[in-house]
Structure 1
Amino acid sequence: MRFDLSDREWGVIEPQLPPTRQGGKRADDRRVLNGIFYVLRSGIPWKDLPSRYGPHTTVYNRFRRWAKQGIWQRIFEALQQQHPSSVEMIDTTMIPAHRAAAGAEKGDSPQANGMKPRRSEPHGAVARPNVTVSATSTADCAGSS
């Protein structure tokens, strides 16, 4: 399937997983991981997980349990060691956007075009509705009673 792990990916991830619990048989880790990745990549709710991945509660509970145990961190670290360039993240809070990122020309400013800079409304201010009442529509309403 589209979101399922390849044999190569599974080979890197499998050694990072916790050993099988004693007692009851654990659901197939690869199938559960494929279900977790399906939900995370597609953005669907856990309850809408296709049945081929098993019960959605099993998949969700495994996701949460492994998060608490630090299993996901181990998986990411193993992937990073195997392929350092594949795990790159950008924190957009640290990268200010330039005016040109919104389509402005270089050196283009509102003042250069003879326009006044626009100011946004103060936080919490209620914007006035942009409505024009027609005199004919008011007269029509008054005459129809």
Structure 2
Amino acid sequence: MTRIDDRKTLQGVLFVLCTGIQWEYLPQELGFGSGPTCWRRLAKWQEPGVWEELQRVLLDRLRAAGRLDFSRVTVDASHVPAKRGRSNPKSRSESG
């Protein structure tokens, strides 16, 4: 069996992530390979930090082109852990 090209597999991964369909329902006629193949490739790329590097490169290029707009940024606890108060609260005399 012929190995599906990484670029096509990446398109399949992005298609699943953008549409929210289940991996097994990735349409074969799109030419991205099977859903399980795309899922395995995604897992393989995650281990060495490929996604983090891809995000860094994209953000660097967008920043250099002046295409980043942080006026509508939202941060939630699913990506950034929410703090639950101080671990060592200062007393009133220390905060002065």
Q: TM-score, normalised by structure 1?
A: 0.43
Q: Report the Cα distance in structure 1 between the residues aligned to 2:19 and 2:53, rounded to whole angstroms.
A: 23
Secondary structure in structure 2 of the residue aligned to 1:83: helix
Q: Does 1:74 align with 2:53?
A: yes
Residue matched to 2:10: 33
Residue matched to 1:43: 20
Instruction: Give the deviation of 1:27 after TM superposition.
Output: 2.1
Q: Structure 1 stretches of 5 or more lacking a match?
A: 1-24, 95-145
Secondary structure in structure 1 of the residue aligned to 2:37: helix
1:92 is matched by which residue type in structure 2?
Answer: D
Structure (1/2) with the larger helix percentage: 2
Q: Report the Cα distance in structure 2 between the residues aligned to 1:31 and 1:73, rounded to whole angstroms.
A: 20
Secondary structure in structure 2 of the residue aligned to 1:91: coil
Give per-residue Cα distances to partners, 1:23-57, cap 9 Å, x unaligned. Answer: xx742111101100000000000000011211222
Q: Aligned in 2, Cα 1:43/1:82: closer, same or farther, shift over 3 Å?
A: same
Q: Report the Cα distance in structure 2 between the residues aligned to 1:59 and 1:37, rounded to whole angstroms.
A: 9
Query: Quick one: percent identity of the two aligned structures?
Result: 29
Q: Report the Cα distance in structure 2 between the residues aligned to 1:61 and 1:38, rounded to whole angstroms.
A: 15
1:43 is matched by which residue type in structure 2?
Answer: G
Please tell me the root mean square deviation across aligned C-alpha atoms, in Å: 2.7
Q: Report the Cα distance in structure 2 between the residues aligned to 1:67 and 1:35, rounded to whole angstroms.
A: 15
Runs of 4+ in 1 over 3 A off after TM superposition: 86-89
Q: Does 1:62 align with 2:41?
A: yes
Q: TM-score, normalised by structure 2?
A: 0.63
How many pairs were matched up? Answer: 71
Q: Structure 2 stretches of 5 or more lacking a match?
A: 81-96
